[in-house]
Amino acid sequence: MAGGFAGARSELELIREIRQGFPAEVRGGCEVRLGIGDDCAILRTRRGWETVVTTDLTLEGRHFRRDLHPAVSVGHRCLARGLSDIAAMGAEPVAAFLSLGLPAASLRTAASRSWVAGFFRGLQALAQRYRVPLAGGDTGQVVGSEIIADIILIGQAPRGKALRRSGARAGDGIYVTGTLGGAAAELRDLMDGCLGRATGREPAGSRPQSFPEPRLELGRALRLRGDITSCMDLSDGLSTDLHHLCEASGVGAELRTASLPLHKLAFERADRLELALHGGEDYELLFTSAAALPKRLRGIAITRIGDVVKPRRGRPVVQMLDEAGARSELKPRGWEHFRR
């Protein structure tokens, strides 16, 4: 399967198009000895490094809607989700593998074929930017009318050095990269019809729902510092993800809502705090450190949003301090896509 993509005749045509879309240097990165075209891909592991693997499912109706997300955005987001997990480990991407389930009509009509082409354009543009070869995958027809994409990312990190969720200690600062709430705010605007579909030509970072930016260089920089105690990416929303981090580390957290860096799409909304706390898909990094960190790293803003504290009676409680200094417990309430 891995190197394959083979199957029906129309799929072979599709694969030929995919291969042509990925230039040679991207098709075969230095760790990829054999990519698309054989039964398996062959990857080489750097001496003294270990492999990290992540898989992410992208489901139509759940993670994207064809009327809100153009095909190029769906391709971009599919790869961005995987790369964001690689970034969260401070790892370096080695190769991507993609399995695509398409409705029967997808390869027949011109409009559907152009959707598939757009999907690969989006995926390919991001793959080229981070020099991630697409080393294999599979395609198949789904029974229903909804598209399914599953991406697997292989990455690598020096042995024992990958960033994990489990090392936060009481007294560490809690930090996030970039801004929060933008992806959820953009989705609300798209659903309300007050924002048109993105094209991919907008200024970087202005459409965080349609074209999220994985923080690969920043994740690597955090790993190289050596003073980051825990790290993860924000995919489900800060409230949910911070609970995951606290559980993995066996600690609690104190969050200052006034410190949350808001994306400009979220900033003027009455529900901005809601979006920043519970709106998912920002794909920023959430991490902890006992060190005083700079305000920017690799050109990306770093904001301290709270502190790691001891657990309460063994429970990893997250407390929230609002602007008036009032305390409340923050429950995990991550974003549910397309909920109104």
- Comparing CB distances to Mg ion, the nearer of 19 and 244 is 244
CA distance 183 to 180: 8
Tracing tokens 């409009």 back to the chain, one arrives at: 111
- Comparing CB distances to Mg ion, the nearer of 60 and 233 is 233
Work out how close the CB of 287 gets to Mg ion at its nearest, in angstroms, rounded to a whole number.
Answer: 12
Structure tokens at 131: 């020099």
Q: Are strands 173-177 and 252-256 parallel, antiparallel or unpaired?
A: unpaired
CA distance 100 to 152: 12
Q: Are strands 92-103 and 134-142 parallel, antiparallel or unpaired?
A: parallel
Side chain identity, residue 164: R
Is residue 60 a contact point for Mg ion (CB under 5 A)?
no
- Comparing CB distances to Mg ion, the nearer of 231 and 320 is 231
Q: Pick the piece of the chain touching Mg ion (CB under 5 A) from 63-71, 79-87, 151-159, 247-255.
A: 79-87
Work out how close the CB of 6 gets to Mg ion at its nearest, in angstroms, rounded to a whole number.
Answer: 31
Which of 31, 56, 60, 85 is the binder for Mg ion (CB under 5 A)? 85
Work out how close the CB of 178 gets to Mg ion at its nearest, in angstroms, rounded to a whole number.
Answer: 15
φ, ψ at 302 (rounded to 5°): -120, 125
Spell 141-170 as b/e; 16+ CB within 10 A means b. eeeeeebbbbbbbbbbbeeeebbbbebbee
CA distance 239 to 273: 11
Side chain identity, residue 324: A
From 232, 225, 209, select the one nearest 87 (Cα to Cα): 232
Is residue 284 a contact point for Mg ion (CB under 5 A)?
no
Work out how close the CB of 109 gets to Mg ion at its nearest, in angstroms, rounded to a whole number.
Answer: 35
How many residues make contact with Mg ion (CB under 5 A)? 3
- Comparing CB distances to Mg ion, the nearer of 232 and 255 is 232
φ, ψ at 61 (rounded to 5°): 90, -20
- Comparing CB distances to Mg ion, the nearer of 26 and 234 is 234
Q: Pick the piece of the chain touching Mg ion (CB under 5 A) from 38-46, 82-90, 161-169, 180-188.
A: 82-90
Cβ proximity of 44 and 156 under 8 Å: no
Work out how close the CB of 263 gets to Mg ion at its nearest, in angstroms, rounded to a whole number.
Answer: 19
Work out how close the CB of 88 gets to Mg ion at its nearest, in angstroms, rounded to a whole number.
Answer: 5
Residues 200-239 within binding reach of Mg ion (CB under 5 A)? 233, 235
Side chain identity, residue 285: L
Helices (H), 173-231: 182-192, 216-225
Q: Pick the piece of the chain touching Mg ion (CB under 5 A) from 78-86, 253-261, 294-302, 320-328.
A: 78-86
Work out how close the CB of 232 gets to Mg ion at its nearest, in angstroms, rounded to a whole number.
Answer: 6
Chain residues in the site for Mg ion (CB under 5 A): 85, 233, 235
